[in-house]
Amino acid sequence: MNAIISLHNSVFGALEKSVAPWLMPSLARLVFAAVLFLYYWNAATTKLGEGALGFLFPSDGAYIQIFPKTVEQLGYDTSQLGTFHWIVAVAGTWAEFLLPVLIVLGLFTRLAALGMIGFVVVQSWVDVVGHGLGDKDIGAWFDRIPSALILDQRAFWVFVLLYLVMRGAGPLSIDALLGKRNTAAH
């Protein structure tokens, strides 16, 4: 039995030291890119207003997505919304574009992943409170049904992002290049 334990510890210890430091952060970014990048990019494009300055003037859809109950109370007349709503809609739209790009490139990855965790939490809150998702979509942990939109699916999203917050982007990233450049300068 000691031989098996020793072999196990040797093999997986070697993998942890040699492969995991570059493979795991790179895989986390790849999984994010494959699963969530286009999801957020497409969601952000629905929030852009018309024309070249659409990134400064969100569409009605942006306000409906972010402030559903408020917009409904206003009879879907988004012109009645104030500066606060505009700031949140613009910041949310920009975050949906910029944070995923930063993660995929591996630039300021820890901060971008932390920002995305906050984004997922707010998005989930809006989905539940603002859009009125029901128990089936919210789900429950430890219920043997792993397909709920909020608690199940988004837990995996946050886990991948939290991994990047804790471990960084890995060696295949702009962060790593900047780190080497910064080390060489000193």
- One pLDDT digit (tens) per residue for the chain, 186 residues: 899 998 899 888 888 898 888 899 999 999 999 999 999 999 999 999 999 999 999 999 999 999 999 999 999 999 999 999 999 999 999 999 999 999 999 999 999 999 999 999 999 999 999 999 999 999 999 998 888 989 999 999 999 999 999 999 999 999 999 988 766 665
Q: What's the longest Cα–Cα distance across the chain?
A: 73
Counting Cα atoms < 13 Å in the Cβ hemisphere of 79 gives 1
Closest CA to 156 of 38, 62, 44, 34: 34
24/27 Cα distance (integer angstroms): 5
